Structure 1
Amino acid sequence: MTTTDNSTAPAPPKKVMFVSVGQSPRSDLIGDILANLDMPIEALELGALDGLSAREIDNLRVRPGETSIVTRLADNSEIVVSKARIGERMAQLVAAFRPNEFDLVVILSTGLFRDFDSTCLTVNAQRALESAVFSLAAQGSSVGLIQPLERQINELDIPALQPYRITASHALDNDKQSLARALFDLADCEIIVLNSVSFSEADREMAAKVTGKPVVLARRIIASAVRLLLYQSQPITLPGMSSEFTDRVNRLTARERQVMSLVAEGLSNKAIARQLGISPKTVEIHRSNVMSKMEVASSAALIRMVIQAGHP
């Protein structure tokens, strides 16, 4: 006599490729993001500086007149590289991925203002964070941005934010003294944005404790996007999320959750359609369903709701 096992096998882990500006591994950064998720993930890493000689890396250092990104090498030392030239290298790496090679590709940079030609579903950290800042500023809130480098204050160039109340300062990650000074500079701001993936959960906790104000962390924004893009139809019940947000998200289909995340990243219907391999008209239908089920009247309101859910 044979018996049938009707138990459901656990879902295989989702394969996520994290692409960073520096050298891998970045266990500190990726570990912090994964800590905000409650799903099995096979995390893979690729650094834009991986496999390069010391001379090749040196040639990517920022030059006079160029805008900059600060990142880390494998020995944990920091290097300031050219935003334009490292962006080109990252774009080449991402474009080389095979179609659907990964369940998700995450661009771990909050300084590259560009699109990436990926054949995989992709989270662009810069787009996600910029969209978050825009939605908060458009609500009328005065927003304080904390950059990793002082020179990056003058390099900020986000035309969409020019009409709004944005103030910038700078601080090193995991440096309480410089972070405290930056928070003093931004004392009049209503919301603080740690505007780099280098800032950790510990930095966010300190800033929130010192100021008593909402503090937006890039790593949490990324985790929220990953969660919405990779969850299928199973309910989302995460600690810290309001029951109202949880109930509304659980009304969405798997595809609607993906569309919601990409809307929160600020993508157009055409761009979302390219990512998901569907028509812009189908995206428009999903988008309308999302707005109805989440009970919001605008994309900005939806983005604010997603941010607040990821920053209880």
Structure 2
Amino acid sequence: METWKERGARVVRKVGAITIGQSPRVDVVPEMKEILGENIEIIEGGALDGLTQEEIAALAPGPEDYVLVTRLRDGSSVRIAERYIVPRMQTQIDKLVAEGAEIIVLLCTGEFPNFSSSKLILKPQVILHHFTSGIATGRRLGVIVPDKDQVEQARARWAGVGEVLRVEAASPYGPREEIWRAASSLKEWQAEVIVLDCIGFNLQMKREVNQHTGVPVILPRTVLARTLQELLS
């Protein structure tokens, strides 16, 4: 199957986007497309697509699980255990490659094992980690994750990236006040760089955290979109 098609004089490239929740991610993909432009088409799949509320509830994390937070199609958020959804993510990767995607991107900043595919798979967590490492060396690094049960995970993941580290919890899917509280805490701590460590944080949230703290703020979805742009231009 062709991985591109011509529309008039334009060549359109296909990117497959996998969310750990339900597709379409109307809260994420439109902002990425503004950066990518009209010549890149995003086709989507979700690890929780087709599941009932009861089936999704059965994927909740236990005490020892790696916790992930994601969005459902109705706009609500859920907590799920990584181990339950990795096989479902692989199924979606295979599906989107069959539909013509030439690159796969994961719409989640969590840590995942390697997936099997003949196409490139972009993991935002890896890209974000290296991008931030190149900026935050010798700086006070602040990180905001969606859930309090992810704080220790994040401390382990971001350890050593900056000179010192502080992690706060505030969900992009919850009350906006949580984000401002986390930003205020990082400002008081004197963070010099802040990472919004979830694909659910949007451009408006980034701008407001930047205005509130006065320091550079790194947003995963835009870092990911610009990486795609580099690979496909």
TM-score scaled to structure 2, two decimals?
A: 0.86
Q: Which residue of 1 aligns with 2:117?
A: 118
- Which residue is 2:177 aligned to? 177
- Aligned residue number for residue 220 of structure 2: 218
Match of 2:143 in 1: 145
SS at match of 1:161: coil
Give the equivalent residue in structure 1 for 2:129: 130
Matched residue of 2:78: which SS?
strand
Does the 8 Å CA contact 2:46/2:92 hold for their aligned counterparts? no
CA contact (8 A) 2:184 2:212 kept: no
Report if aligned partners of 2:93, 2:117 keep a CA contact under 8 Å in 1. yes
Q: Say what the alpha-carbon RMSD is for the aligned residues.
A: 2.2
Contact 2:94 2:117 in 1 (8 A): yes
List per-residue Cα deviations over 1:155-176 (Å, max 9, x = no partner). 2232763784121001121643
Percent identity, aligned pairs only?
30
Separation in 2, partners of 1:19, 1:112: 14
8 Å Cα contact 2:43-2:101 kept in structure 1: no
Q: Distance in 2 between matches of 1:96 and 1:45?
A: 10
Mapped to 1, the partners of 2:52 and 2:112 lie a distance apart of 26
Question: In 2, are the aligned partners of 1:106 and 1:122 still within 8 Å (CA)?
Answer: yes
Following TM superposition, by how much is the alpha carbon of 1:123 offset from its aligned partner in structure 2, in angstroms? 1.6
Secondary structure of 2:62's counterpart equals coil
Q: Which amino acid aligns with 2:153?
A: E
Question: How many angstroms does 1:112 deviate by?
Answer: 2.4
Counterparts in 2 of 1:224 and 1:108: CA distance versus 1, 3 Å: same
Partner Cα separation in structure 1 for residue 90 and residue 158 of structure 2: 23
Q: What are the ranges of 5 or more consecutive residues in structure 2 without an aligned counterpart?
A: 1-7
2:99 & 2:28 partners in 1: Cα distance? 24
CA shift, 1:48, in A, is 0.3
State the structure with bigger RCO (CA 8 A, min sep 6), 1 or 2: 2
1:229 correspondence with 2:227: no
Of 108-117 and 216-225, the range deviating more from structure 2: 108-117
Give the Å deviation of 1:227: 0.3
Q: Post-superposition shift, 1:111? A: 0.8
In the alignment, what sits opposite 1:201? 203
Count of aligned residue pairs for this structure pair: 222
* Cα deviations by residue, 1:133-175 (Å, 9 ceiling, x for unpaired): 33333x2111100001111112223276378412100112164
Structure 2: which amino acid aligns with 1:218?
P
Larger Rg: 1
Gaps of 5+ in 1: 1-8, 232-312
Alignment of 1:45-194 (within 5 A): 45-95=44-94, 98=97, 101-137=100-136, 139-156=137-154, 157-158=156-157, 161=160, 164-173=163-172, 175-187=175-187, 188-194=190-196
Q: Distance in 2 between matches of 1:158 and 1:210?
A: 26
What is the Cα deviation at residue 95 of structure 1? 4.6
- SS of corresponding position for 1:81: strand
Q: Compared with structure 1, are the counterparts of its residues 79 and 100 closer, same or farther at alpha carbon in structure 2 (3 Å cutoff)? A: closer
How many Å apart are 1:131 and its aligned residue? 1.6
Q: Deviation at 1:200?
A: 0.3
Letter in 2 for 1:143: L
Whole-Å Cα distance in 1 between the matches of residues 16 and 96 of structure 2?
Answer: 10
With the length of structure 1 as denominator, give the TM-score of the two structures: 0.66
